[in-house]
Structure formats: C-alpha cells, structure tokens
Structure 1
Amino acid sequence: MKVFGFYKSKKYLQRVMLSIMASMVLVLAASSVSNTYILERSVKRIQEDSNLKVLSQIQYNLSYMNDIITRLSNFVYRDHFLIPLMFNGDLPKMDLIRGYRQMSNIMESSSFLHSMVIYNKSQSELYGTSNSFLLDGGITKERIRSTLLDPANPQPTNRLIPMSMSQGDERIDSFAFIVTDSLKPFSSSQSGIILFIKSDWVFESLRKMNVASSRDQGEILIQTKDGQLLSSDPNASYLSSEHQNSINELVLNDKQAGQHTSGFVIGDLAGEKNMVTYMDDGLGSWTILYIQSYGKLMADVTKTRNQSFMLSGLFLLFAIGISIGLSYKLYNPIENMLKRIRPHLPSTRKEDAREDDGPGSGSGRHVSQSYGDELTLMSDNYMRLSEKLNEISSEHIVSKYYIRRFLTDSLLFSHRDMQHLIEKHELNISVREPLIVCVLKIDQFAVYDRMTTGSTKKLHSFAIVNIAQEIMGKTYPCESVEIRGDHVVLILSPSEQDDNAQFNQVRALLRDIQDTIERYYGLTLSCGISDVISQFPYLSTAYAQALRCSQYLIVKGNKAIIASEDIKENLSSKQMSLPDALERKLAEALKKGQLTNAGNELEKAFSHIATFSYEDMLRAVSNLAWTIKNAASDIVEHRIGTFSVDMDYIHQIPQEKETLEEMYLSLLSLCAKICEGQRPANMERNEIMLETVKELIEQKFADINLSQQSIASTVKLSSAYIGKLFKESYNMTITEYMNEVRLNHARELLERDNYTIAEIMDKCGYANQSYFFRLFKGKVGSTPKEYRMKKSIS
C-alpha cells in the first residue's frame, strides 16, 4: 500500500509513466495485429495459387481422359462386327455372336470400361455385355432406357454422363459416353453405342490430388451443368441438397461478377466458413470444385496469431515493467529536487518534523494535494525563493560595494570605521587578525573578451566568485568580489588552526580553484598573492601588490600562482634595457638572412628580458620589435630581397601576447619570414618552373603523348636538366610523378563511375593494358578489377 500511495501522490510521475506505457501498448498491439493480418493474407494468397494449380492439373487429366474415350468410341463405332448390331433389322445369329465376342474383346482391352451397350433403332433393342445387364431380368436395361432413351430428355453425345448402374444404390458408379453418327442429342430415334466408363477411373485423379498432402486439404468435387455435385465417395460432405444450393449460388454469383471461368470465393456453408476454388473443365460440361474449411486452412495462422498475442502479452508485461522503471528513472531528478525543497516549504515543515520524508509518506501526499503536481510545487517554490532573493539582493549589493571600496580606497577609512562597517554588514572578514589578498585573473583575457558573449561572461564571473569563495571558505574565512570584469579578488583571514597567520594552505587551495574552473568552464586562471597585512587601511596596498604579482605571468606563464617572494629577482633588478651589441647582432643576422644566428640572438635577448621588472620587460620587447622592423626596412630599401611582413603588427605583439614565450615565438616567426625573403632569385625561379611542370602534368595527364621530352619542350628547357632538377626537388622522376597522378585519377574513376577498364585507361593516358595493370598493382596492391570489387563490397 505504501508503494501504491507513493505513485498515487506523484501526479507528474503518473503522466510520464502512463504516456510511456500507452505508447508501448499501442505499438505492440498494432504490430501484433498487422503481423497476423499480413500472415493471413499471405497464407490465403499462397493457398489460392496452390488450389488453382491443383485444379489446372485435374482439368488437364479430365481433358486427357475425354480424348482417350473419344478415340476409343470412334474406333468402336466403325467396327464392322458391331455395325450389324446397330443397324440390322433382322439380325442373324452368327452376327449376334460375333458382335458380342467383339464387345467382350473391347472390354478386355480397355480396363477403364465398366460395360458397353449397343442400341439398335430398327429393333428398339439394347445389346449389353455386363452380367447385370444379361441376368437381372431387364432391370438394368430398363434403367438405361429411362435415363438415356427418354424422348423428352435427350442426352448429349460425346460427353460423360454420370449414372448409377447398381440396383438400390444412388452412388455414381459409371459415366455414360454416347456415340452416334451425328452431333444431335441422343434419343430412341437413332442407333448408337453407349460406353459406360468406370467412375473410379474418372475420380482416381481427384482422389490422388486430394491426398497429395498429409494435411487435410478439403474435398474435390465435380459440378454438372444442372448443379449436381459428383464425388467418388457417397459419404462425402456437401452432397446434400442444402449444400449444393449454397455452393451453386456462391460459384454462380462469383462467375457472373467477374466474368471468368476460374476463381475462388469464401462463404458460409451450413454455418461453417469455407473457401471454394472453382475451374471449368475446358469442355463446357463440368465445373471442378475444391472446397476447404477456412478454419482448418487457417489453423496454423490461428495458432501463430494466438502465439503472437501471447508473446505480445508477455512483452507487454515486460514493457510495463520497463516503463515503470524508465519513468521512475526520468523522474528521479525531480524527486531529488523535491527532497531538497520539501523541508523548506511552509506547509510541510511541521509534518516533516514528525514524519519520515520517504516514499508514501504523509508529507508527500500533502504536497501533492496542496500544489496539484510536482512541477507546480517547484514553480511555486521558485517564485517564493525569487521574492526572497529580491529581498536580500540589495543588502548583497551594498556589501560588495564596501568590499570594493576597501580594496581601492582603504586609506580613506580609519581602522575603526572599517571595523564598524564589517560588523554592520556581517562581512566574513576578521576584525582582529592579519589579512592577505589574492587576485585571480583569466588568462588570455583579450582573446576571451573578444570571443565571448556578455551573458557568458556574467556566468563565468558568477561561477569564479562563488567557486573561489566556496573552496577557500572551507579553510579560511574569506570574502570574494569581482572588479572591472577581468579579475576576482579574495580577502582571506587566518583559520583557527593557523595560529601564526602563515596562510600555508593558500597555494594548494588556489590550485584547486584553478583546476575546478578549468574542468567545468575551460578557463585557466593566474593568481597573485599579497604579503600579510595587519591593519585594514593597508588593504588597497595589498590589493595593488597582489595585482602586480599577477602581472608576472608574463614570465611564469599561464595558470601561475605568484607571490612577492617568487619575483624578488625581477623586483630588485637594476637592468632596464638590452645591450646595444645584442640588438646590433640581431639586425646584422636578419640582413644577411642568417635565421639560425638571428634566432640565437633573439633567445639571448629574451633570457635577459626575463630578469627585468614588468614595465621594463614590455619596453625591452617593444625595442626588439623596433629593431626587427628597422632591419626589415633596410632590407627592402636596398632590395636585398622581397618578403611580406606586416610592419604594424610588430608593435602589437607586446600588447596582444601575455607571456614572454608567446612574444618570443611571434618575433621568431617574423625573423623567419624576413630571412626567407632573401633567398637567391634563381631558387625562386626554379620553384616556379617546377610548379609549372606539375600543373602541366595535372592538366594533361590524359594525353597519351605526354612525356618528359614534351614537357621540357613546353617550358623551353632541356629534358635532362629539368629531369635532374625535378628529381633533386621532389625525390622522384617526372615519369614517376606522372604515373602517380594518372593512377590516382584511375582509382577515383574505379570508385565513382561505371567506366570500363579500357575507358579508364583512355581517360588516364594509358595505351598498354599490361603496363597499366602492372603499375596499378605495384601502387595499390591489386588489379583494377579487384580494386573495384573491394570498393563495391565495402
């Protein structure tokens, strides 16, 4: 019940959980229904095609049987031993004997004949061969007369007519096939031969097709023109008059609707859904029917559907579990925030004092009932905190104002006045202990200021102030404030464990602040630390000292922590400028184009500069820049060489670069450009010429006649000279470079387009296939065909 109460109290969690759960249910249900629907249609389509194939085979078998019987009947009708039996009015006994013997021979030679009867119109007599015809006292003869010789119902010739020759049995045991000398319907007014075909012979193919599969496929029946259904099995289903009428109606309606001779239709037969496939026999007499129970036909589909629904149900239970877990995981941040908010809510403080704040607790229900949902609760709490923040913001602004005044104008306050203001505004600054000041500056501030938006700067400033005060405040009482937007100042008082006010842990804490800011915001800070002061009026002096220490990152580098003892040598240095000889040697090396010497002199100069005071460092670097500029001007004036150097940029280096190392690298780069511009003119001409050769090859690589000789002729130089120059410059011959360009283009054509190998050779300037294959395999490791196959597979 506690768990249920917990979820009941979390309205936002309910919405999240129900949304995910409903989505999963809809997706699983739609997937299961669509899959079973598609499966049923596929099975139905496959079964329909299979049924038509079966009926087509049966149609072929019946046509083949009809051809056999027709050929036999034509032979029998012209037999000279049987003609007297058909036409003689006065039949001699010997003709009768010979006729019966011939009929017996025909019966013995044709296994599919049930019996054979000859009708003599002159005598109005029937002559038959079967025992029942001869010995049953005329019953069979009378059955034949009433069925086949009825003047009111003439029978078609050369067609199979179903009949029952057995007494007292309506089972179709034979088919009558009437042969006359005309195509008119047969009646007692003309002579003819009647062949009775065994029904088993006709139905044999039906039975074989029906048991072709171990599974019950249904029943195959024959439908006559008058709608009678024929089957070799008297106990077959669908033979009742009710079923015959239903089947006739289904088939007839489908035939009339589609105007076709074959098809399939699904309908109810005696309350059961069945699938009826039909096809005319091709002779215009019968229709072959294939009737199957739709339930049995789709048994596997139904089984699969049930299994699918069962699996979907299992997956649905699994999905519900996942949705609950996922919803709670998504809700977890909100829950954690609520745990922090609840103790500070006016409506829940009393309840929280008495009850445990856990899942299903009363306070949770109270909050849910009071605030609607969790987001409304947090929104209301945010508004309440905003109002409270507005109340204290003015006091915070005043406190920060006095801290800035203490740092910049502390000499204007007396010790007592500052002590009074600190106590009044509850500043975290000791009024009895010594203090130190730390300055934190953002490295590369000029670039940072240019590339960062105003809102981001405010965020970074807020983060640095608060992170610095939080980390430092764990050990030392401190106050932090931002000044001029480019640095943050910390005022530290000694901790209770720091009896001698040595502030031994300050460097380690400043390093922790640097690492934290760099990890979260990607900014590096340099820090300056003042000496310990004992009187409040000296705060501005300590601040100026810490700020001056931070300037010496020019020597120490970015992310440095600098105190006065770290720069004693610089502060006590008496040297204010570089030796004249050093600057003179630098200028001479530049004019001679000796980059190594110029670099050595520049390195010596910066080694001297690193020992100067801060202002003297900037002045010395500026003087070096002037020296380099003047040397460049002299070189241009005397036309020793040509080069592109931005003269104005030389003077910006001391202002744009923060460290001596950066300044040194920038000036060294300028010296390299100056020395590079003084290379011999013929060297530059050679480079231009070689670049021209490369451009010619890249433009005309498809030309089969392109060669080192043709290129030399184009640039008006000897082939040997240009080949030697190309080899020395690029460490390869012109022919090797030409093949490299051609083979690279061949690879691109093999990868992108469907050109033949011959077309690619033509486009890349190759005429010999074996030469092309050898070069390609030597460069790529495989033949062009293998390369194309590998690329198509990958």
Structure 2
Amino acid sequence: MVFQTKFPVKTMFAKFFFAYLLMLTLAIAVISIWLFHIFSNSSIRQINELSDRTLMQGQKSTEYLMNQAMQVSAQLSFDYPIIQQMNTAESDPIVENNSLKKLNDIIFINESIYSIGIYNGNNTSFLTSDYPNIDNEAIEMLNNSDPKTKIRLLPRKLKLSSGKNQEENVYSIFYYNRDKSTNAILNALIVNVKEEAIRNGINPDDRVDQGNILIVDATGKVISDPSGGEFLKDYSELGFIKKSLTESGSNSFVDTSLSGEKVLVTHSYSNQLGWHFLHVVPYQAAVVSISRLRNTVIWISLILFTFSGIASLFVSGKLSSPLRGLVETLEVMKEKSKNNLKVDYLKDILGGVKAPQVSSELEFALRVDLFKGTSILILKIDEHFDATVLEVEEVADEVHNQMRLSLLNRVFDLLQPHFSYESLVINKDVVLLINHDEAFNSHKHLVNLINRLQEQFRQTMGTSVTVAWGSYVNDAANYHASFQEALEAADYRMVYGLGSMLTYETVFANVKHEFEYPQQHLKALLEAIKLGKEELVWGALDDIFNALKDCQYELIKLSVNHLLLTVFITTELSIQDVKDDLLTNFNNAVSKLRKLETLEQMKLWFAQYILHDMQRIKEKRKHLNSDLLDRIRGFVEGCYANTELSVEMVANRFDYNPMYFGRLFKELFNQSFSEYITELRLSKSKIYLAQDHIAIKEVGTKVGFNNSSYFVTLFKKHTGMSPSEYRNKLKI
C-alpha cells in the first residue's frame, strides 16, 4: 500500500516549513545557550555584588558607631561639669556627682557604649560610669605612648576588677591633653564601645549562605569576628588574610586556608578606621542556589524547544512576524543589559572596587579613554530655597528625575562636540568623566562650558547646579581617589553656597585644620537672647558663622548641632511652658535644620528661630509681670496703713531680694516704692478728710503716718494746701 504525504517535500510550502522549523530549532538552541551563559555570569556577579553590598553595609555600620562614639566624646568635652571634673585641682563631690550623672545618662541612651572614664591628672582621680572598672591601664598606655601620636581609636581588652568576666572586649576613643614639658597626661576622656555592638551591627543574619564579616587591623589581628571569641588573635598567617593585607582596593577570591574549608572572600578597606573588612561566605552554601537555578534553566529551555517545535506544526509560516519581534526585543534587552553593565563597571572604578581594564573598555564601547587624562565632575541639582519663609522646597522624585534628564541633555549639547565623556547617575547626582589634555586650572575652555551649563540650567529650570571637581587623573589607579575628592569638595557647598564651582585643591587650601569653637561669640549670642536685643543677635550670629566658614565640614556640622542644642536649651528654659513637648520641638528643629544646605541659609534660619523664641519670652515675661503687678498692688492696698510698711517687708512677702525688688518695683509701676506708697496714703487721706468727725491728726495715723506734723507738711507739698484747707474747700 502506498501512502501519500499531506505536505509533499518538493512543494514550496513544504520547503519553507522545514526550513522554518530548522531555523526555529537553531534559534531556540542558541538562545537557550546564550541565556544560560548570561544567567551563570549574572548569578556569579550577583553573589559578588551581594558580598560587596553586605561588606559596605557592615563597614558603614562600624564607621557610624565609631562616629557616634566620637561625637559623644566631642560633646562631653564641651560639657561644663565634665570640664570641671577633668581639670579641678582637688576632688569635688558635687562636680563628681554631676559628671557621673552625665556619664550615666549618655550610656543609658547609647546602648553601644560600655563605659566612659574621666581622668584628672591634677589629683590623679579616675571617675568612670562603672565604679569597679578603674581603667588605670589606659592612663599608663597613654603616658607610655609617643607624644607625637594622637590615639583616637583602639581595640583592646578592658580588664575588670569584679564580675564573672575578668575582661571586656572594647574599642576605646581617647581625648586627652599632655604637659608639653614632661609629656605626662594632664587629663583624659575615655569612651569604651562594646565589641558586641560592632559585631551585631555587621553580622545581623544567621543564615549560613549569607556569610560573616571579619575585621582585622593592618597587622592581621582580629578586631571583630562572628563569635567574638577570636578578638585580638593573630590571623596574619592565614592565606586570605595575607592576600587582603597586601592587595590594595577591594577584591574577591576563593580561599581554603580557614580550617581547610573552601570560602568566598570579599575584601575592602576603611580609610577612616584603618581596618580591613572581609566578607567570608562558605563556597558550597553560596553556589548551591546557582546549581539549582542552572538546572531549572536547562529544563525550561528543553520545554520551550519542544513546545516551539509542536507549535510550528500548527501555525507554520505565521510565526515569521512574531519571531522577528522576539529577536528585536531580545536585542533591546541585550543593549540595555550591556549599558547597565557599563554603568556598574564605571561605578566599580570610581568606588575603588576595580581598576580600569583595556578589555572592558572594548567590551562596553566606552566613549571615554580611562587611560588618558580625565577630570571627574559631580553635578548636584540644588534644592530651591525661599528666603522669605526660610524653608527649603523639597522637589518630588519625579520632578527631580525630569530635571536630571534635562541636565544630561544639556551636558550632551555642550560637551559632545568638544570632548569625549561618559555620564552616569550616582545617588541622584550626575557624575561626568571627561577626557582632556590639561588639568582644571589651565583648561579654560572646559571651565567656560561648565559655567555656561550652570547658567543655562538656572535660567530654564529655575534652580542652580553645584559642580565639584576632583584632582586631574593621569593615572588609571587614581580614579577612586579623585572621585572621593569630588565628593568631599561637594560637601563644601555648605560654605560656598548653591551654584558654586568647587575644586578639591581650592576648597581644602582654605580649610583650617586647627579649629577653636567660637565660645565668646556663643556667649554673646546667649547674652543677647537674655537681654532681648535683636540687633545683638544678628551680630553674634554673623560672628559665629563667619568663624565656621574656614573649618572642616564635619566640624561645621558638629558645631551647628551644638549651637542648636545650646540655643534650644536657653530659650526653652526661659519659656518653661509645660504644655510644650520639648523632645518633639527639638526634633522638629533638627529636621528643619538638616534640610538647609548652606551656612547662609542656616544663619537666616537660626535668626528667625531665635527671634521667634525671644518674642515668646517677652510675651511670657509680660504676662508674668502683669500678674505680679496685680498681686503686689493688692498686698500694698491691704497694708498701706501699717506704719512699719517698707520695701523689705513686701520683698520678703514675695521672696525677692530687697535690692532687686526695688528695681523690679520701679520697672513695674514706673515709680519708686516710697513714691508709690506716699501717693497711695495721700490719696486715702483725702477720703478721710471728707469726713468731718475724724480729726486731722487721726487722718495721718489712719493712712500710716506716725507723725501728724510730717503728714501735714507732706500733704501741703503734694496738693498745695494744708489738710484743713483741703477740708474747708470740700465744704464750699
């Protein structure tokens, strides 16, 4: 029997069908292999990125705790009872109790702090928040240290004199002064941070596949480990520790030197702390998810291949159009993915995670040559500030994105015809890498273009752009340093104002490294507040903020916060309104102050804040004085006839010092106490003189004059007539 096929092989339709099926089969196979390759690379990259983020979060958490403890130290160094405790020649129980209360209050609200100690070299006393812990070892260490060094942060085992544990793992921060002739420690402030606070902050997750963060110092000693049991042990002989200590920047590698177990190690270094951070992940736990996902991808590819082959039998040539759309979509996705990878590559270079590679430049088709002279610019879109109401207008994210897109378009229009450059967005700011042959100070054309960019953006968008430059890069290894310089220069927008052009060299050439807080100007400001002198408030604020312009950014922020706290305490204690929630008021003030971006804005805000509170103080005093005046008048009205009535008697009645009360009485009544009493008694005498049955001698006695002759003389002096003449006049 002969069977005839429904689709003869020799027909045009059959040829097209089988060719199409073959093409579809090959396409699916290629796409499956390509997707698997991309997915595998992406999965490995995601593990590295996760480690980088985890490591960065741990590093930032540690730096934050250290900064918080250092800020506590700095704040304590300005506290008057603490200064007394550190410098008094003899022990004073009152000063000691006040200082101890201050220390315990600080520890109560800062769970990361283990203890705080104050050493006074004048009387060799040591006051701590924890009495059993007298940290004499720290003073010996300071006395034996090199006088030229400044010990800021030190991991150590704190010896205890009582308790179950004989020692405690801490990180110590020292503020101290030496005798220049003997190098002996005059006084010291020691803040001990709990080691477990650092450990809990950087290793919050117990999942094995998330790994743990290990911190070591420059010699390989353990500063923090997941268990806390290896503190200050020497790990310098471990292979991955050696590798991390000898290599600069951030890197990732596989190692087996930790108990023979294969681990993934990601390394970074904190310039602020001088410590190496290592994220250690068990290799098998890290890649098990990749293996499962790989198998899933293979099965999905096989299912798609089978499904596509069956579907092609039913729809045959009708798939040509959808297939073309699929290819175009995949191309778009590939291009977008490639662009994202390029941005990530540039971010890694600027962040110091990677060094520029020639192969990567070819892969990503960079428009800028990273091996030629390059400038790094940060463009920050400034928030709008309304000086009439002293408020910052917060721009919504959508509007900010549109403004940033407009800025990128203008960058393209101005720079593209003249320079090779790359642009990317980091933390809402536009970052530019621009190739040119000369450093910033000598390349006038580039500077003029950036100036034009700032002016055009201001005219069209109604807000300014601050531009910060890092040092000119002529070595591929210096991108991270230049980017960090640009970030630091951008912070000084606070000093130079919005719309500034800031270079690292210019900014830090003007920064004074020795800073003395303007205590005298602060004292003048507080005195102006107490006196209610608005013009003196403006002058004192000018002096304070002018003094802050030349100091370091972190000190500016600390000083402004200290100013707010001092002003808040001064004004609130003067107002003392129990209806107010002081904590809420203070948090609101802090929130408003943090929105301001320049010292000039902050000065205007402080002026408005202080003048508003001064008005509240005046109204409060006016209300209190009015009430006091009524009470004094009522008391005097009731005892004016008492011949013993005196300013001392009334002052004692209202618990005032007689001399001060005399001045206060004149301020309230616009006349002295004796003048007021004399007028009151003479006024009352006129009422008695209108009554004929009362003798004139008795009238003087009834109103408080114990001498009738004096009463007659005084009455005639004030009225121009004697009491008898006054009585006769009333009868007419």
Fold-level similarity (TM above 0.5): no
Q: TM-score range by the shorter chain?
A: 0.3 to 0.5
Q: Highest Rg: 1 or 2?
A: 1
Instruction: Return the TM-score normalized by structure 2.
Output: 0.36
Instruction: Return the TM-score normalized by structure 1.
Output: 0.34
